[in-house]
Structure 1
Amino acid sequence: MQVSQSAPVAVRGWASALLATVAAFAAMLVVASLGLWLAGADSLPGGGFGSVVAATVLMSFGTPAQLDGSAVFVATAQGGITALPLSVSVTGALVAGVLFLRPLRRHAVVGGRELLLRLVQFAVVWTAVTLVLSAAARHTFTVSTGEPLLDEIGGAIGAEPVVGFRVDPGPAVGHALLWLLIAVVLAVAVSSRTPLPSRLVRFHASVRPAAHAVLTLVLVYLGLGVVGGVVALVVGSQPRETLAVIVLGLPNLAWLALGVGLGASWDGHVSGSLGLPFPEPLAAVLRSRQNVTLDLSTLADQDGRMWLLLPLAAVLVLLAGVATAWRAPVALPAWRHALHLAVALAVAMLLIGLATRISAVYGLSLLGLGGNGSVSLQPNLLTAVPIAAGWGAVAGLLGGLAAPHLRRPGRQQPVPPATG
């Protein structure tokens, strides 16, 4: 009887995992296809558009793409790209998170084993689709040397210049599973309506208000990024390329602005052509010399309006502190609001820093983005994370002190036991 009862549950679990995986990958493929089409990747020789779309989706998990080329008449060249097109990543995370949580909301409680089983089922299906995409994310094509005689000779002896890209399946699966785990954990952490296993119920009132407030904060920055993107689209001279940046990398720029406003910094440089327009102050800083520190000061040296990122961050983080205290139990002491928001904002800054890393050398044009050269952008996490924690602590403390004066009378909730 137990087997007959558990079998339908297992079948529903696999069906749910399949639906969530297909929907998430479909949404990511749509966003990647639109962004790459706007960037001109549909003109890639040899019908490689589908391959570059597959590679872009896998890169959104943090998987590096390998670039190489060899021929008799040109030097062997190798390179690679590690960069997250965060618009693709965020789309997949939202769809995957919502569909993973949806079946759980029908239950008053959820067991730890059931939650783990659903995650394993999700991971198995996710791995299968990732392997299919990694097989598709490779393409080679011939290019001209620029010398008609050499092209003719190379064609005659079968030694035409060949270049290409690929995404190896091993790293693809590893990065995809780590990305999925982070997406699911964050979805569970921010969802106030999803039941938790009994051992984790005590964290409901401590983790979720701060996690939800930080999620709202980063989404507000996305909204502000959309406004800025629309303005750039209207006043700029490259509307299609600007729209490609918005579709593929708006969160990269928006969350970079959040980190810079908080006082975080990145080290980097740009050389050669990248094929897509960077915001002018950002491009000017990165091109100013071979190795440069990107922070609020260096951006403001290029455009004084960049100083506005500091008060913007201060106001929005303070509102996050108030929101944390507002959603938490009434009698929770202010120092615990400070602790919870400090941890949540530190984790967010860690993820933002890792997600905005870029390392690309040789031939972005091989992926259809129309440029080549090198770009590097690496976060200084040893300073960025403590700075974010400090902002969170101050905002959480002030929010905890202000919230009692903003609440409606009669709103009472029990205080969870102190867990540190």
Structure 2
Amino acid sequence: MSRRIASERPVAAPAGRSVARHGWPRALAVVLGSLVAMVVVAALGLWAAGAADLPGGAFAPVVLATVATAVGGAVELSGDAGDLARTNAGLTVVPLSVTLVGALVVAGGFLRPLRHRAVAGAGELAGWAARIAVLWLLGLVGLALGARHTFAVDMGSGTLSDLTGLLDAAPKVGFTTAVPLTAARGLLWLAGILVLALLVSRGAPLPGRLLRFQVSVRPAAYAMVALVLAYVALALVAALVTMVTRGHVRETLAVILLGLPNLAWLALTLGLGVTWDGRVDGPFGLPVPRVLAEVLRTPDVSTLSLRTIAAHDGRWWWLAGLAAVLLLAAAFLMAARSPARIRPWRHALHLAVALALTLLTLCLAGRVSAHYGLSLLGIGDMGGNLSGELLLRPRLWSAVGLGALWGLLAGFLGASAARPVPRRGEVAARRP
């Protein structure tokens, strides 16, 4: 009898099998898969934007630089126009379409071998993440070393072109990627993605000491990820409809493959009342609806908010309605994935914190800063289109406060609406 009972006890999986599931070959597949996916998306997007025509074989380095910036890399622009001329340029923008693709591939690959597990040891999770991080670091170094190039700027024809030729001041523009800073930021990006993947996935195991946090953290994290992905999905549908009905196939495809989440999450923040400061000057253009470009193209820094947009076209108030509906849906989803014993006011607090952090992240990722200029003999813009500025920056602390307020309200309403919904794994008490 004792032998029979012992034989029915669950047997722990051998250590070798765990290592096989979390070994170096699988980690290499995760890293290579994510890098290849980002390179393909960036290359197609840049091709659609016309970057394949860049001189001097600059297309491949530009693709690598785009991938590097997508994971937080630092790309530095430089210029040279001889002794009598000066150039300056700067660029800060994250191609969030590339970022999103890489994040989804990394998260999926990280979680796949952890499926169908209730609990995982902290050492096991740390070892699996460390393998990915080591190979990811090598990939980041390779990206940074390949993302550098210098090419001449075509001045066209006219007086300015003649002067630059006469004075041997033909401008050259180049870019390099800072290896240490790119590696550090890329590792932080990876850590954030892996932690978020563990928080969002209901089936991913957690160390025993962290299990008590999954009730308060996981449903809220899942709801926020669902909210931001819903905005991207709606933006994708809108972009495809625009491409079919109005043409501009390559331009729209470039927006989809490079900056669709930038526009989608800008719409989310505007709908929730977040204010941005922005300016467009010179030949810079923004792949945004016409009314947004009108608000931003002013002599001075302008205020971009739902109120200023609606002043140009009152139909844009629908952004507030869309944000309210989708946020309430996210709050309902959060409550439905939580135990029934949690009271509405706790749901409100959880969503307030989660939404405040989400808006902070979206605002930081959505910032844009770009400028360039050429001065000859100390005179800038010699009758040509040689300078420009593109600026878009959020008012961060007001965004965090609005996120907390919206989260409190939506969390309470969503929890109240989800009360009758049966929870998975819970049995309702029978009335006598």
Do these two structures clear the TM 0.5 threshold for a shared fold by scoring above it?
yes
Distance 1:329 1:131, change over 3 A: same
Aligned to 1:398: 413
Mapping of 1:214-233 within 5 angstroms?
A: 214-233=224-243
Of 260, 273, 288, 1:263 maps to 273
Distance 1:9 1:262, change over 3 A: same
Q: Distance in 2 between matches of 1:277 and 1:346?
A: 27
Superposed CA offset, 1:287-326 (max 9, x none)? 1342112111011112212100111111111111111111
Mapping of 1:97-176 within 5 angstroms?
A: 97-145=107-155, 146=157, 147=161, 151=165, 154=168, 161-176=171-186
Mapping of 1:12-411 within 5 angstroms?
A: 12-72=22-82, 75-145=85-155, 146=157, 147=161, 151=165, 154=168, 161-236=171-246, 238-274=248-284, 277-362=287-372, 373-407=388-422, 411=426
Q: Does structure 2 retain, via aligned residues, the 8 Å contact 1:222–1:254?
A: yes
Q: Distance in 1 between matches of 2:224 and 2:251?
A: 31
Aligned to 1:418: none
**Which stretch of the first structure deviates more once superposed, 399-408 or 166-175?**
399-408
**DSSP-derived class of the 1:375 partner:** strand
The answer for unaligned runs of 5 or more in structure 2 is: 1-13, 374-384
Which amino acid counterpart does residue 323 of structure 1 have in structure 2? L
**Which stretch of the first structure deviates more once superposed, 381-390 or 59-68?**
59-68
The answer for unaligned runs of 5 or more in structure 1 is: 364-369, 415-420
Distance 1:286 1:382, change over 3 A: same
Q: Does structure 1 retain, via aligned residues, the 8 Å contact 2:263–2:288?
A: no
Which amino acid counterpart does residue 127 of structure 1 have in structure 2? L
**DSSP-derived class of the 1:31 partner:** helix
**DSSP-derived class of the 2:279 partner:** strand
Q: Distance in 2 between matches of 1:242 and 1:48?
A: 23
Q: Distance in 1 between matches of 2:209 and 2:18?
A: 26
Q: Distance in 1 between matches of 2:237 and 2:210?
A: 39
Q: Does structure 2 retain, via aligned residues, the 8 Å contact 1:131–1:173?
A: yes
Q: Does structure 2 retain, via aligned residues, the 8 Å contact 1:144–1:151?
A: no
Q: Distance in 2 between matches of 1:371 and 1:234?
A: 35
Superposed CA offset, 1:332-369 (max 9, x none)? 11111111111111111111011101111117xxxxxx
Q: Distance in 1 between matches of 2:246 and 2:139?
A: 39
Which amino acid counterpart does residue 108 of structure 2 have in structure 1? V
**Which stretch of the first structure deviates more once superposed, 182-191 or 266-275?**
266-275
Q: So what's the TM-score if we normalise by structure 1?
A: 0.89
Distance 1:233 1:405, change over 3 A: same
Q: Distance in 1 between matches of 2:133 and 2:170?
A: 42
Which amino acid counterpart does residue 393 of structure 1 have in structure 2? L
Q: Does structure 2 retain, via aligned residues, the 8 Å contact 1:64–1:81?
A: no
Query: Greater CA radius of gyration, 1 or 2?
Result: 2
Which amino acid counterpart does residue 132 of structure 2 have in structure 1? F
**DSSP-derived class of the 2:256 partner:** helix
| Runs of 4 or more consecutive aligned structure 1 residues displaced over 4 Å after TM superposition | 4-8, 148-154, 408-411
Q: So what's the TM-score if we normalise by structure 2?
A: 0.86
Which amino acid counterpart does residue 183 of structure 1 have in structure 2? I
- 1:235 Cα offset (Å): 4.2
Q: Does structure 2 retain, via aligned residues, the 8 Å contact 1:85–1:248?
A: yes
CA RMSD of aligned residues (A): 2.6
Q: Distance in 2 between matches of 1:10 and 1:334?
A: 44
Aligned to 2:377: none
- 1:92 Cα offset (Å): 0.2
Q: Distance in 2 between matches of 1:408 and 1:104?
A: 24
- 1:375 Cα offset (Å): 0.9
Distance 1:12 1:181, change over 3 A: closer
**DSSP-derived class of the 2:120 partner:** coil
Q: Distance in 2 between matches of 1:371 and 1:239?
A: 29
Identity value in percent: 48
Superposed CA offset, 1:53-91 (max 9, x none)? 000001112333221121327623122211110000000
Which amino acid counterpart does residue 233 of structure 2 have in structure 1? G
Count of aligned residue pairs for this structure pair:
401
Q: Distance in 2 between matches of 1:306 and 1:289?
A: 24
Q: Distance in 2 between matches of 1:406 and 1:95?
A: 32
Q: Distance in 2 between matches of 1:345 and 1:211?
A: 9
Distance 1:74 1:45, change over 3 A: farther
Superposed CA offset, 1:261-308 (max 9, x none)? 111111111111235633212111111342112111011112212100
**Which stretch of the first structure deviates more once superposed, 304-313 or 226-235?**
226-235
